């Protein structure tokens, strides 16, 4: 019985992969608004009945694309996990991976944020939302690691902001990536009692006033970023240059380098 379930899961994964690839091509050509399940079905090798068992609505398809996007982003981050540097320098790994993910997989990158929209989440099964949440929490933990490293190397002042490091990582992500106060599914330990109050305190403080500016003038961050690109993302950068993809992704710090 277990083997049959495993085979069924593999078969479903294979079909979902086919579906998302077709959806990506449609979006690249005509945009998200023109994406319809009927056209995806017509271009796929999957029967209508089987398709709707896997993808009951467009929101579910968007979430699958979003999961693909965050998975790709995390793969890029994990490639540079061994990078040795200060907490500020390590945050450049996140910036580099964000730029690459957006430029090489623009469609599924934007799907991450569309999938997290409240209306989209309400139309998707809790199980699928949980997968998206789990992946995004991995991204938040990267922040958490940088914060903890910063406390050790002294680049992050050990002041009392009424946050623990996990909460601070959450708010850093929320502030940089457009998450709202209502995104309680990413709050550590489901600690939502004083979420609004803590978020207001965080916004009042702002990163630039926390004496921890990831792209400060203390070090040559342009050189550090180029080192990260050449050491970990040489293949991806060559793909970007080959297709001459323009970088219109905003800096995660709001500063130029």
58-84 pLDDT, tens digit per residue, is 999 999 999 999 999 999 999 998 898
Of the ranges 25-29, 88-92, 152-156, 253-257, which is most confident?
25-29
Reported as a single tens digit per residue, the pLDDT across 174-210 is: 766 555 544 555 555 555 555 566 666 666 555 545 5
Instruction: Say if residue 178 is exposed, middle or buried (CB neighbours under 10 Å; 0-12, 13-18, 19+).
Output: exposed
In the block, which residue shows the tokens 């630039």?
A: 208
Predicted model pTM: 0.80
Burial class (CB in 10 A: 0-12, 13-18, 19+), 180: exposed
DSSP H helices, the chain, are 2-30, 37-43, 48-54, 58-79, 87-104, 106-115, 118-122, 126-153, 165-177, 195-205, 221-232, 234-243
**Mean pLDDT within 34-40:** 95
Q: Do residues 116 and 66 touch, judged by C-beta distance below 8 A?
A: yes
pLDDT of residue 187: 55
Is the predicted pLDDT of residue 250 greater than 90, yes or no?
no
| Mean pLDDT, the chain, integer | 79
């Amino acid at each position: 019985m277990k083997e049959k379930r495993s085979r069924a899961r593999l078969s479903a994964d294979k079909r979902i992969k086919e579906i998302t690839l077709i959806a990506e091509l449609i979006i690249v050509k005509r945009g998200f608004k023109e994406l319809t399940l009927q056209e995806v079905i017509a271009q796929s090798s999957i029967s209508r009945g089987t398709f709707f068992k896997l993808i009951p609505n467009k929101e579910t398809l968007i979430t699958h694309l979003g999961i693909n996007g965050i998975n790709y982003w995390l793969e890029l981050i994990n490639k540079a996990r061994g990078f040795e540097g200060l907490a500020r320098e390590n945050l450049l790994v996140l910036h580099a991976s964000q730029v690459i993910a957006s430029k090489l997989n623009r469609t599924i990158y934007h799907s991450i944020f569309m999938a997290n929209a409240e209306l989209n989440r309400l139309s998707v099964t809790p199980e699928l939302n949980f997968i998206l949440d789990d992946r995004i929490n991995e991204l938040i933990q990267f922040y958490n690691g940088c914060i903890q490293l910063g406390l050790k190397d002294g680049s992050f002042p050990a002041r009392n902001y009424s946050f623990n490091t996990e909460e601070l990582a959450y708010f850093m992500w929320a502030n940089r990536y457009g998450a709202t106060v209502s995104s309680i599914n990413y709050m550590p330990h489901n600690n939502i009692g004083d979420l609004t109050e803590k978020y207001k305190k965080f916004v009042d403080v702002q990163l630039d006033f926390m004496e921890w500016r990831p792209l400060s003038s203390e070090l040559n961050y342009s050189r550090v970023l180029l080192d990260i690109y050449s050491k970990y993302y040489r293949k991806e950068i060559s793909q970007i240059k080959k297709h001459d993809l323009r970088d219109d992704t905003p800096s995660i710090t709001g500063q130029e380098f």
